[in-house]
């Protein structure tokens, strides 16, 4: 009987803390519906790997980690699904929206400067990419650079993506006046030819890969998913990528990331600091997009609602929807959805480019 219960006495405080965190992630996924497809498997995986002598760390979860996370396969496959979900139509009808996606990446480089004061350059760069508001990019960059904080970075990236409805509105309101939030932006419906929709992912892949070769895989898989969607001859594959592939990879990704969420690796001051820096990155990203829109308005006769600048982060489509809802709250007749989604998808591209720039600069250090 003593042998049967011997393992119960081997729990340490850090493992118990992580089990509580795992339960909290499951609670947020189920009760609050915050990114449930990811937080639920991540929370359950966290519980499994923090059981003393758990065979998960040397068995299935380790094998999945080596097969899908360590070599970046899972994040890249997930990008195919994300690309298949994205409609670049609003962006193609108004290409200048791409500028807002670029402006909203400022938090990455601001956080890089801050993180460099506390962490080695490689880890600081990996932490900064949390500001991309893009889970797969965060995982890919952190793994490629060999960061010691992959688990904390992943949790921060996805947690803050789920918390976008809480984080962004106060920042947007702080930086805008009611008059600015009431600016209407009528959407002019313009048809985008099928040829343009097909050529867009091909051209973007070539251009971005030529300029930032370290982003070739990230942008390539994202745009390949979009090409499947737009080509018109692979509807069944497009549907599979959007639903079956994306859901399956998300499950594997969530439970496998937990490999790095053991008490020994996770419960320390560094982790809390990373979570704090990640929050800073999201706030500065949001502020950067809004302030850029306000700056542009200085030169425009037809003003832009600066709230759409906040949608330039890569949290697709949550950020675009948040801006739209805020516009409707201020004025029930102000429909910003197409504009904010256009900015949001531009942020998806911009975040991948930013991740490639980080990799290009730091991978040889």
Q: Which region among 132-141, 195-204, 302-311, 353-362 has the lowest average model confidence (pLDDT)?
A: 132-141
Contact between 230 and 241 (Cβ < 8 Å): no
pLDDT above 90: residue 317? no
> What pLDDT was estimated at residue 185?
87
State mean pLDDT over 128-144. 86
Q: Is 325 in contact with 74 (CB distance < 8 Å)? A: no
Instruction: Give the per-residue pLDDT at 2.
Output: 56
Q: What is the mean pLDDT of the chain?
A: 88
Check pLDDT > 70 for residue 1: no
User: What integer is the mean pLDDT of 339-348?
Assistant: 90
Which is higher by pLDDT, 228 or 259? 228
Q: pLDDT at position 210, please?
A: 93
Residue 3 scores a pLDDT above 60: no
Its pTM stands at 0.86
Distance separating alpha carbons of residues 273 and 54, to the nearest angstrom: 28
pLDDT at 4 over 70: no
pLDDT score at 365: 64
Whether 124 has a pLDDT exceeding 60, the answer reads yes
Higher pLDDT, 300 or 6: 300
Mean pLDDT computed over 306-331: 89
pLDDT tops 70 at residue 147: yes
pLDDT value at position 61?
Answer: 83
| Tens digit of each residue's pLDDT (9 = 90 or more) over 57-105 | 878 888 888 888 878 888 889 999 999 999 898 889 888 888 888 898 9
Lowest mean pLDDT among 1-5, 169-173, 342-346: 1-5
Percent pLDDT > 90 in the chain is 45
């Amino acid at each position: 009987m003593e042998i049967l219960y011997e393992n119960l006495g081997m729990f340490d405080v850090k493992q118990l803390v992580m089990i509580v965190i795992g339960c909290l992630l499951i609670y947020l996924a189920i009760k609050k519906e915050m990114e449930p497809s990811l937080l639920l498997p991540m929370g359950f995986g966290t519980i499994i790997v923090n059981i003393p002598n758990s065979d998960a760390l040397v068995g299935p979860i380790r094998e999945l980690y080596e097969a899908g996370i360590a070599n970046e396969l899972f994040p890249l496959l997930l990008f195919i699904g994300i690309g298949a979900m994205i409609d670049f139509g609003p962006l193609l009808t108004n290409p200048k929206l791409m500028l807002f996606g670029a402006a909203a990446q400022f938090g990455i480089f601001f956080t890089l400067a801050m993180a460099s004061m506390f962490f080695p350059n490689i880890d600081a760069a990996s932490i900064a990419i949390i500001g991309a508001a893009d889970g797969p990019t965060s995982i890919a960059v952190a793994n490629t650079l060999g960061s010691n904080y992959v688990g904390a970075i992943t949790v921060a990236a996805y947690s803050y993506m789920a918390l976008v409805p809480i984080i962004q509105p106060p920042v947007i309101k702080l930086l805008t006046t009611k008059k600015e939030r009431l600016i209407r932006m009528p959407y002019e419906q313009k048809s985008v030819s099928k040829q343009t929709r097909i050529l867009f992912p091909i051209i973007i892949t070539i251009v971005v890969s030529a300029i930032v070769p370290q982003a070739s895989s990230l942008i390539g898989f994202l745009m390949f998913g979009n090409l499947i969607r737009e080509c018109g001859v692979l509807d069944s594959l497009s549907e599979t990528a959007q639903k079956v592939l994306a859901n399956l990879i998300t499950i594997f990704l969530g439970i496998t990331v937990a490999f790095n969420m053991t008490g020994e690796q996770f419960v320390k001051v560094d982790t809390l600091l990373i979570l704090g820096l990640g929050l800073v990155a999201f706030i500065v990203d949001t502020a950067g997009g809004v302030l850029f829109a306000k700056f542009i308005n200085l030169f425009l006769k037809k003003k832009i609602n600066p709230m759409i600048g906040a949608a330039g982060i890569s949290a697709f489509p949550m950020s675009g929807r948040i801006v739209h809802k805020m516009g409707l709250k201020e004025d029930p007749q102000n429909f910003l959805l197409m504009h904010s989604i256009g900015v949001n998808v531009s942020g998806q591209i911009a975040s991948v480019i930013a991740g490639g720039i980080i990799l290009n600069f730091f991978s040889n250090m």
